[in-house]
Every structure is written in C-alpha cells, then in structure tokens.
C-alpha cells in the first residue's frame, strides 16, 4: 500500500468531484467529499446511454461506475446537503461546514438507476425501509462541523443556461419545447423519447444549437463544447428508435470535439438534416405542434416549418456558487466567470468549475487535480 498520507476536501459531488475523490483514495489519502444537494453525480447522473448499434461514447456509463466506486470506498467520507461556509488557513485548512439550503429529500426517496434499471443509489430520510434490494444507501444528513484538511479540490460544476431567457423560443410556455437536459431525463425515464404534452413519439424533431452560449447579446462569448456532440448523439438516438422520424439540427457551425468526431458526424449526416441558421422564434399551432421561423440559408428569406418537438441545446454557464467559492477560497475568476485553474498553495480546480467540458474532459481534469494534490501533500510532508 502507498505510504502517502493526508486528507483532502473535495467540494462538489458531480463527475469531477467523484473522480478526484476516487483517485485520491487510490493513493491512500482520506477524502471529505462535500455536496450541497441531496445526491451525488451532479447533472451527469441523469444522462442516458445513447448507444445505437454501437457505443456512442457519451460517458453516461462512466458516471454510474464512478458513483458506485466512490460509495463503496471507505476512505471517502460523504457529506450530503452540506456546503462550505468559511475557511481558515494556518498550517492546514480549517473548513467550516453547514447544512445547505439546497433541495432536500424531506422524507422522499430519490432513486438512481442504470440503463438496465439496476438501483445505483437511494437517498432519503426513510432509506432503510424504502430502499430496493441491492441499492447502495447514503443517509441524507447535512453536516455542521469544522474539519482540518491538507488540501482542497474545487469541483463545483456548472449551471445550465436558463432557456427562459431566450423568450422568443417559448421555453416554459410551450410544453413541447424542452432542453437537452430534459431530453436526457425523458429518454431515461421512458426508455425512448416522447412528447411531454401527450406521451407520444415525435415524428418531426428540431434541435436548436448554441442556446445561451456564443451569444454576444448575453455576453456569453464562449463555446460550451459539449452541445454539438450531445445533440448529434440525441438525434442519432431518435433515428435509431424510429427510422421514419425526421430530425433537423439548426446550427451556427459544428464543433469538432475529438479525433473520432468527423467519422461520427459524417454518419449522422446520412440521416439527419442540418440547417445552418439559428431560428428567430417559435409559436404553438394545432395538435401541440410548434411552428418555427428561420431565415432560409440559401435565399435569406423567412421560412416556416412545423415540428412535434423542439430541443434547445443549452450552454454551460458558471456554477451558481462560483462567486461565493471564489471569495471563500481566494480563487480568482476568469473573464467568463469560471474559476481560474492556476491557483496553487494547496487549492486545485477540477471539471467544469473552470470552464465547459465533456464528461471525459471533466474526468481528465479531475485526475490531474488529484495528481497535483498528491504531489503537493508529498512536498508538504
């Protein structure tokens, strides 16, 4: 066994926080994993597998596996519904934790299932009585205490763009205008994509890219990096489930997100229509359908099309607590409002806390942060 000792606090229980905690525990380092919500896995635990005739490398299965590994690791102490309130630095970091004001279980049971409907975790006040056989149990407690640790990894994640800010798209008003995250949840819960309004499979689906990112009017100039790949995977999933479905993707340009992406993109284009323009507005028509107005890319004139379902590919925004975390840990922020990675002095940043990235990229950043923390502990010792 590695003789390295020490204790690290990981703030954030999404895929980056889980990965960092797991990598540290593998080095025989104790971990205090702090998550302000009442469950682990962050946004990505709700993602669904998008395999068709072959794996699409969306990363959803890696989140499930990492969650199970972390829960089973005795060196990782999990604090749910807990947030950092204060920090004092002497020889070590003394961190004050308190119960968070985030969503609480309040006696309800929250269940996480794999794509094979196998229970992964159950959280709630009555977890002993309500847990299905074989489920991993985490008591939703909320910690109020002070802890001394030797280093900190900030993996506080991101906030999805609030699609209601794009008011012309009718999100929140028209049932069949949904976000990419909602698509994930619908597909996972129903083992297929259905319309929220009537539970029927849509025959005409539109994806609108860059909703909230690459938008000068909002001051969001960055690319969210994940939107192109996940929209195309979703489009491929729809076509795989229903070869008669018509799927259109409205885009600015398609971002190359890996060495295998060009081949994947070429295959998707065989069955999915790509329209290089961003729609102007959306309004409802008969049968809960939606009329979408855009400028025809070849003529530059207004064009109207009807769809059964519209999916908004919302961008990655800085986490809701980024400013607070920046102030508590004295970590600078980037011009875009994310945490600056170049902190040092025993504090490290992982995952989308420092900017947009895929599941794989978040795990890689978390692995590097854990590696750097291990080096720091060795030097401090």
Residue 56 structure tokens: 């699409």
Q: How far apart are CA 135 and CA 112, in angstroms?
A: 9
Position 114 scores a pLDDT of: 43
Q: What is the phi/psi pair of residue 373, to 5°? A: -65, -40
Domains and CATH numbers, the chain: 7-157+319-380 (3.50.50.60), 161-316 (3.50.50.60)
Q: Are 31 and 7 in contact (CB under 8 A)?
A: yes
pLDDT at 345: 84
Distance (Å) of CA 197 to CA 263, 289, 293, 304, 312: 35, 10, 21, 22, 17
User: Given this model, what pLDDT does residue 302 score?
Assistant: 87
pLDDT score recorded for residue 129: 37
pLDDT tens sequence for the chain (381 residues): 445 478 999 999 999 999 999 999 999 999 999 999 888 888 888 777 655 656 656 667 788 889 989 988 999 999 999 999 999 987 789 999 998 875 544 333 344 444 444 444 544 444 333 334 334 445 445 667 899 999 999 999 999 999 999 999 999 999 999 999 999 889 888 888 999 999 999 999 999 999 999 888 888 888 888 888 888 988 988 998 899 999 999 998 887 766 777 887 888 888 999 999 989 999 999 999 999 999 876 667 789 999 999 999 999 999 999 999 999 999 999 999 999 988 778 999 999 999 999 888 999 999 999 999 999 998 554
* pLDDT for res 240: 86
Burial 249-276 (b: 16+ CB within 10 A, else e): bbbeebbebeeeeeebbeebeeebebbe
How far is 114 from 240, CA to CA, in rounded Å? 20
Choose among 16, 35, 18: nearest CA to 79: 35
Closest CA to 242 of 179, 175, 194: 194
Interior CA angle at 258 toward 252 and 260, to 5°? 105
The pLDDT of residue 218 is 85
């Amino acid at each position: 066994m590695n003789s390295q000792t020490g204790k690290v606090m990981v703030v954030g229980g999404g895929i980056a926080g889980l990965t960092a905690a797991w990598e540290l525990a593998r080095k025989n380092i104790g971990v205090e994993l702090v998550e302000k919500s009442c469950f682990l896995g962050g946004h990505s635990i709700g993602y669904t597998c998008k395999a068709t005739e072959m794996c699409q490398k969306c990363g959803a299965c890696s989140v499930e596996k990492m969650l199970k590994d972390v829960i089973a690791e005795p060196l990782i102490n999990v604090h749910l519904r807990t947030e950092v309130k204060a920090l004092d630095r002497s020889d070590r970091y003394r961190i004050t934790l308190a119960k968070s004001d985030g969503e609480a279980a309040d006696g309800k049971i929250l269940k996480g299932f794999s794509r094979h409907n196998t229970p992964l975790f159950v959280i709630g006040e009555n977890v002993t009585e309500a847990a299905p056989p074989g489920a991993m149990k985490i008591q939703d407690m909320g910690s109020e205490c002070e802890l001394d640790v030797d280093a900190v990894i900030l993996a506080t994640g991101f906030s999805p763009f609030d699609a209601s800010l794009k008011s012309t798209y009718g999100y929140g008003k028209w049932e069949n205008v949904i976000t990419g995250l909602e698509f994930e949840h619908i597909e996972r819960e129903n083992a297929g994509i259905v319309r929220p309004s009537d539970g029927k499979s849509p025959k005409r689906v539109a994806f609108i890219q860059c909703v909230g990112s690459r938008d000068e009017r909002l001051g969001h100039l960055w690319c969210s990096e994940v939107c192109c790949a996940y929209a195309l995977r979703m489009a491929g999933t729809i076509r795989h489930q229903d070869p008669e479905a018509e799927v259109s993707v409205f885009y600015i340009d398609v971002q190359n997100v890996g060495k295998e992406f060009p081949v994947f993109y070429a295959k998707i284009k065989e069955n999915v229509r790509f329209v290089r323009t961003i729609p102007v507005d959306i309004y409802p028509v008969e049968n809960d359908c939606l009329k979408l107005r855009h400028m025809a890319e070849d003529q530059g004139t207004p064009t109207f099309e009807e769809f059964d379902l519209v999916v908004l590919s919302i961008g990655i925004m800085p986490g809701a607590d980024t400013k607070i975390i920046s102030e508590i840990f004295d970590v600078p922020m980037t011009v875009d409002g994310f945490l600056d990675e170049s902190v040092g002095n025993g504090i490290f940043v992982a995952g989308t806390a420092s900017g947009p990235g895929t599941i794989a990229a978040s795990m890689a950043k978390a692995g590097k942060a854990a590696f750097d923390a291990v080096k720091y502990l060795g030097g401090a010792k």
